[in-house]
């Protein structure tokens, strides 16, 4: 089949909820993807932050092959060794104490919200507690996750959503303070807003949220689905803010390409929130995904990818600054942390049009918000990869 035949056959059977680019990817190796025609693409999207190790890393694939040959599924009515290994590894690197494995980031958000509500219920004996979220945030597409997503475009067709969600302004602690009341059970926030335009939280803001939650005994939920697992230059971005969350959500790079998410909690929260019968999942934490989690964490530590990101990110930022200096009418600036960067594009130009031109020239990039070109390279990216990316964008801009 040729490319168009693949596309037509796919659209024949799929519900059309994605505006896919007209590319059929066939395989990958390292930093590169290859389409069905054999064309090579430098990947600066990593499957929306998933492929931290690039494609086909032998340590990761070997761990998956070994587990596939042993056991794929048991259900959560039983124990299995990969579950113990994955839970122990994730608690160790996340700084949290207890973990629940899910199938996706959105499911991790659902579990985090339920945790906050149950924590408040056990404390007061009353349900109906409220959550504070933020304008321009993104937490997922399920009804609960959508309810705390601060973008009306994603929400408008699906009302009524979950009650009791109030939206504050990101990086504005006073806008949060005015919303806290006795019925507030949690505050959910991305340390670096992703879909909202690659906007990092200030240290004062996150520390202010931590203090506010401590004052009112409400839970601080940090959504690190995109910015976690080394992407910020820390294993989890919160570690650069000198705070600790009550609940942490993680996914994307957690499985290195295998679909798995998790929410993790502190000992205090674990002791006073979800109990047997409160939450569950058929597939979450099965042997295959737990083997992937263990392999991903061990590989990230072996390669010291957070350290590599911290060392290499200044060069990425330097090249983005050079693009802005050379093309001031097109590239208005850049922002981000580590290997989670956004190039701000002039309002006269659609970032998606730049992404399309980049594909034509063999570069995969993403967009975020209405005016940002999003760069999420695999965490193995080297300076030579950054130079190649910048050279392609230079020609397009």
Distance CA 332, CA 323 (A): 9
Cβ contact 272:123 at 8 Å:
yes
Write the Ramachandran bin of 375: left for phi over 0, alpha for psi from -120 to 50, otherwise beta.
beta
Cβ contact 279:102 at 8 Å:
no
At 222 the pLDDT is 98
At 128 the pLDDT is 87
At 386 the pLDDT is 98
- Residue-wise pLDDT for 158-198, tens only, equals 999 999 999 999 999 999 999 999 999 999 999 999 999 99
Look at residue 266 and give its three-state secondary structure. Answer: coil
How many helices (DSSP H) and strands (DSSP E) are in the chain?
14, 18
Domain with CATH 3.40.640.10 in the chain: 71-302
Distance CA 322, CA 12 (A): 44
Sheet order of strands, 340-345 included: 331-337, 340-345, 372-375, 366-368
Nearest to 137 by CA among 213, 192, 218: 192
- Residue-wise pLDDT for 311-334, tens only, equals 999 999 999 999 999 999 999 999
Q: Which pTM does this prediction carry?
A: 0.97
The stretches in the chain having pLDDT less than 70 are none
Distance CA 281, CA 103 (A): 8
- CATH code matching the domain that covers 3-57+304-396, chosen among 3.30.43.10, 3.90.1150.10, 3.30.1300.10, 3.40.1010.10: 3.90.1150.10
At 281 the pLDDT is 97
Question: In degrees rounded to 5, what are phi and psi of residue 311?
Answer: -75, -35
CATH class assigned to 71-302 = alpha beta
Domain with CATH 3.90.1150.10 in the chain: 3-57+304-396
């Amino acid at each position: 089949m040729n490319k168009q035949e693949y596309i037509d056959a796919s659209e024949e059977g799929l519900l059309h909820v994605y505006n896919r680019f007209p590319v059929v990817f066939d395989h990958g190796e390292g930093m590169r993807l290859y389409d069905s025609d054999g064309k090579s693409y430098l990947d600066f999207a990593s499957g929306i932050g998933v492929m931290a190790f690039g494609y086909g890393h032998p340590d990761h694939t070997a761990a998956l092959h070994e587990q596939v040959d042993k056991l794929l599924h048991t259900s959560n009515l039983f124990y299995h060794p990969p579950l113990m290994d994955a839970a122990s590894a994730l608690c160790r690197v996340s700084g949290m104490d207890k973990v629940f494995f899910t199938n996706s980031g959105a499911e991790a958000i659902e579990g985090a919200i339920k945790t906050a509500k149950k924590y408040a219920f056990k404390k007061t004996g009353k349900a109906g507690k409220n959550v504070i979220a933020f304008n321009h945030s993104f937490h997922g597409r399920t009804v609960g996750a959508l309810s705390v997503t601060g973008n009306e475009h994603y929400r408008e067709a699906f009302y009524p959503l979950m009650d009791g969600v109030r939206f504050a302004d990101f990086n504005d602690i006073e806008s949060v303070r005015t919303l806290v009341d006795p019925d507030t059970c949690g505050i959910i926030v991305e340390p670096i807003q992703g879909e909202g335009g690659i906007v990092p939280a200030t240290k004062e803001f996150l520390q202010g949220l931590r203090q506010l939650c401590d004052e009112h005994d409400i839970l601080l939920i940090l959504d690190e689905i995109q910015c976690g697992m080394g992407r910020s230059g820390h294993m989890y971005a919160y570690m650069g803010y000198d705070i600790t969350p009550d609940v942490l959500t993680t996914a994307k790079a957690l499985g290195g390409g295998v679909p798995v998410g998790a929410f993790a909690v502190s000992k205090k929260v674990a002791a006073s929130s979800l109990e047997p019968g409160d939450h569950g999942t058929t597939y979450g934490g099965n042997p295959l995904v737990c083997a992937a989690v263990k392999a991903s964490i061990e590989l990230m530590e072996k390669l010291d990818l957070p350290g590599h990101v911290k060392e290499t990110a200044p060069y990425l930022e330097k090249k983005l600054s050079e693009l802005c200096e050379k093309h001031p009418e097109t590239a208005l600036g850049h922002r981000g942390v580590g290997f989670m960067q956004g190039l701000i594009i002039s309002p006269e130009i659609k970032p998606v049009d730049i992404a399309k031109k980049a594909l034509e020239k063999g570069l995969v990039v993403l967009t975020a918000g209405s005016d940002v070109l999003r760069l999420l390279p695999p965490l193995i990216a080297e300076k030579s990869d950054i130079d190649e990316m910048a050279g392609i964008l230079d020609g397009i801009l």
